[in-house]
């Protein structure tokens, strides 16, 4: 049957699976069409209107742009996730829902303390130790209205890809310490929130400290285009003290005001969709997952598909651990009944039957296999040899940087290098650490991942090793461009490779006259070696990177200590160690 002349409305961006449903074609065929057009995409990946229009034209359809209101056209960045989710809903059925809030900011500026202060205003002390500590999301009540918080610090949903926390939320509370001001991770958080087009409310924390300088912090925020409201700007800045629980009510009121001005809505009777906050496999209960419902109403007995996991929900509990029968928009719930552990950040949807769920999952698994077919690994060293043999005509890159201010000049410089005989194609450029999605894209498209002032997550490193993906980390832009230029000219010298030796957990901290503060650790994986490099992580953020200067077992100096043993560790010129910190020991070869 010919589709010539048939017009279909498409949004500015659309998920591959949804596009396949619109034109009633197999997602696998669609992915193959995209691959022939040079676009490597997974079934859950989003493509822009132009790409979608080219593909549907091959099936005889004519794509026309969906009508967008003028005020939406003026906004910059991606369409917020919740707006995408309700795009197909009847506007007359939309109702106001609780805003979903996430808290971002620099390490040690008080993100966790602020979450604890907010939680304690609404959660009884007797609930501690229950499901509240594991669900990763909870609700508080303010003036008879609910606010949903994503407990992002330290959670996989946030550390794998910092942007994901911002995109899954309606509002970002940016925590800025009044004594420190705007720091590198503050800038990163601002960039992610802006890219996701999420409004920002600033919590100016630690205003009670003697060395607090709120005006300096506000000036720095204004320089980042977040002009405080009391300076005539549009950004609400609320002074708080998380430790003294001061200003918390004012902050929550500010969140509700911002929510009202952004018209946050959903259709409780519409299609049930949402996001996986976190998931784990419990030996006695099976798969436990935390879901954030973002449209529709989830009910016990519903069949849910999330990524390549599916199942009929046996039980639904609210964030306090109490069984409930149904959950409306912006409600976080813990569920049981999924067949497999979905990934944090996966979208979920309710389907009619388990049979339909199996068909969807089979399609997704088949699509993953298609991506893996004819996959040829490509490292930077191999590039020139492949070009000489006629096997590669251009270098595909995925670029990750710490902040947008670094990313833009890097992309500009790299594009200049691609103007020669060998082409250079940047498939994806974004701020944030290197995660599994980056490695999957690199593996499918024979690309190399370039990171500037970022790290690769542990899971991403393992996947890269398995898939043969080359990850390059740099701290100086000219070294990055120098390496790429050498590769393009076939002159690349041996590279430095980082090798992880082991990990340890800080159990306690004590003072030693000779070494200053010493971390009492237990080695949980591999081994620690004196003289090696070390990184210290706190709530998923790096707080120290340098040399492991001293290593003691009981009262003796040792060169190395293996998994299962306890030891004392000292760091060169660094004393800010806290119990619960994670230590990663590595060498550069």
pLDDT in tens, 520-539: 999 999 999 888 888 889 88
Q: 86 vs 18, which has greater pLDDT?
A: 18
Taking CA atoms, 15 is separated from 20, 21, 84, 182, in Å, by 9, 10, 10, 36
Q: In the predicted model, what is the mean pLDDT of the chain?
A: 79
The alpha carbon of 452 is separated from its chain's Cα centroid by a whole number of angstroms, namely 17
Superfamily of structural domain 273-371: Translation factors (2.40.30.10)
383-488 matches 98-263 in CATH topology: yes
Structure tokens at 179: 């004594």
Least confident of 78-82, 432-436, 568-572, 580-584: 78-82
Alpha-carbon gap, residue 248 to 536, rounded angstroms: 31
Show contacts of 137-146: CB within 8 Å, 24+ apart.
Answer: 137/277, 137/290, 137/292, 137/319, 137/332, 138/319, 138/320, 138/332, 139/98, 139/319, 139/331, 139/332, 140/252, 142/249, 142/252, 142/253, 142/255, 142/256, 143/253, 143/256, 145/98, 145/256, 146/98, 146/330
Alpha-carbon gap, residue 337 to 358, rounded angstroms: 14
Is residue 165 predicted with pLDDT exceeding 50? no
Where are the chain's structural domains? 98-263, 273-371, 383-488, 498-588
Is residue 423 predicted with pLDDT exceeding 80? no
Predicted pLDDT at 305: 94
Under the banding of pLDDT at 50, 70 and 90, the label for residue 435 is: confident
Is residue 545 predicted with pLDDT exceeding 80? yes
Predicted pLDDT at 39: 73
CATH class of 498-588: mainly beta
Q: For the whole model, what pTM was predicted?
A: 0.54
Least confident of 82-86, 327-331, 381-385: 381-385
Predicted pLDDT at 214: 92
Domain 383-488 has CATH 3.30.1360.120: no
Predicted pLDDT at 120: 75
Angle between the N-to-C axes of helices 458-467 and 436-445, in degrees from 0 to 180, rounded to the nearest 10: 20
Least confident of 235-249, 381-395, 464-478: 381-395
Predicted pLDDT at 582: 92
Taking CA atoms, 578 is separated from 23, 150, 544, 575, in Å, by 56, 24, 12, 9
Mean pLDDT of 321-326: 91
Mean pLDDT of 314-322: 88
Is residue 453 predicted with pLDDT exceeding 80? yes
Q: 279 vs 107, which has greater pLDDT?
A: 279
Q: 17 vs 551, which has greater pLDDT?
A: 551
Predicted pLDDT at 205: 92
pLDDT in tens, 341-391: 887 777 899 999 999 999 998 988 887 677 555 444 445 555 555 555 555
Mean pLDDT of 456-479: 83
Predicted pLDDT at 82: 57
Mean pLDDT of 394-402: 82
Predicted pLDDT at 71: 36
Distance separating the N- and C-terminal Cα atoms of the chain: 60
Closest alpha carbon to 502 in 550, 544, 561? 561
Q: What are the φ/ψ torsions at residue 423 (nearest 5 degrees)?
A: -75, 160
Predicted pLDDT at 504: 92
Predicted pLDDT at 238: 93
Is residue 146 predicted with pLDDT exceeding 50? yes
Q: Tell me what percent of the residues of the chain surpass a pLDDT of 70.
A: 80
pLDDT in tens, 477-505: 778 888 877 766 654 555 677 888 999 99
CATH architecture of 98-263: 3-Layer(aba) Sandwich (3.40)
């Amino acid at each position: 049957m010919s589709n010539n002349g048939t017009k279909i409305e498409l949004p500015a961006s659309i998920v591959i699976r949804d596009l396949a449903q619109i034109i009633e074609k197999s997602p696998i065929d669609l992915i193959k069409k995209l691959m022939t057009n040079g676009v490597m995409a997974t079934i859950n990946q989003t493509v822009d209107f132009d790409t979608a229009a080219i593909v549907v034209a091959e099936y005889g359809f004519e794509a026309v742009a969906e009508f967008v209101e003028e005020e939406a056209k003026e906004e910059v960045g991606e369409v917020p996730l919740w707006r995408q989710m309700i795009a197909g809903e009847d506007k007359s059925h939309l109702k106001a829902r609780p805003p979903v809030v996430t808290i971002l900011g620099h390490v040690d500026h008080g993100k966790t303390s602020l979450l604890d202060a907010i939680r304690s205003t609404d959660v009884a002390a007797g609930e501690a130790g229950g499901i509240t500590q594991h669900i990763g999301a909870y609700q508080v009540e303010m003036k008879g209205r609910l606010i949903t918080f994503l407990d992002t610090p330290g959670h996989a949903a946030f550390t794998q890809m910092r942007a994901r926390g911002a995109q899954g939320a309606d509002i970002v509370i940016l925590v800025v310490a009044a004594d420190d001001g705007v720091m590198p991770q503050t800038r990163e958080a601002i960039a992610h929130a802006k890219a996701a087009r999420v409004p920002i409310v600033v919590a100016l924390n630690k205003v009670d400290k003697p060395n607090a300088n709120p005006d300096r912090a506000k000036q720095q925020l204004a320089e980042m285009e977040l002009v405080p409201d009391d300076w005539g700007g549009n950004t609400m800045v609320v002074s708080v003290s998380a430790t003294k629980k001061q200003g918390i009510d004012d902050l929550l009121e500010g969140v509700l005001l911002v929510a009202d001005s952004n018209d946050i809505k959903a259709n409780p009777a519409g299609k049930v969709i949402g996001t996986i906050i976190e998931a784990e496999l419990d030996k006695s209960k099976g798969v436990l997952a935390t879901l954030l419902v973002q449209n529709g109403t989830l009910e016990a007995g519903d069949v849910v598909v999330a990524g390549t996991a599916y199942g009929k929900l046996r039980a639904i509990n609210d964030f306090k651990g109490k069984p409930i029968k149904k959950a409306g928009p912006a409600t976080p719930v813990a569920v049981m009944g999924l067949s497999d552990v979905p990934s944090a950040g996966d979208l979920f949807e309710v389907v009619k039957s388990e049979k339909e769920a199996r068909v969807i999952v089979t399609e997704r698994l088949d699509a993953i296999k298609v991506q893996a077919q004819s996959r040829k690994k490509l490292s930077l060293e191999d590039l020139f040899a492949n070009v000489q043999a006629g096997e590669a005509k251009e270098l595909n890159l995925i670029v990750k940087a710490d902040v947008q201010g670094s990313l833009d000049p890097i992309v500009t410089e790299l594009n200049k290098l691609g103007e020669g005989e060998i082409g250079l194609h940047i498939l994806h450029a974004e701020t944030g650490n290197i995660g599994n999605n980056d490695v999957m894209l690199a593996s499918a498209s024979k690309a190399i991942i370039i990171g500037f002032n970022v790290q690769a997550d542990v899971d991403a490193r393992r996947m890269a090793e398995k898939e043969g993906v080359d990850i390059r980390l740099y701290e100086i832009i000219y070294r990055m461009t120098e390496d790429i230029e050498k590769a393009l000219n076939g002159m690349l010298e041996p590279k430095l490779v980082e090798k992880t030796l082991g990990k340890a957990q800080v159990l306690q901290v004590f003072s030693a006259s000779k070494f200053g503060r010493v971390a009492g650790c237990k080695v949980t994986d591999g081994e620690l070696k004196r003289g090696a490099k070390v990184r210290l992580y706190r709530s998923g953020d790096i707080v120290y990177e340098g040399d492991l200067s001293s290593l003691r077992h009981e009262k003796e100096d040792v060169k190395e200590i293996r998994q299962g043993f306890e030891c004392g560790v000292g760091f060169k010129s660094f004393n800010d160690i806290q119990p619960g910190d994670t230590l990663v020991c590595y060498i550069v070869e």
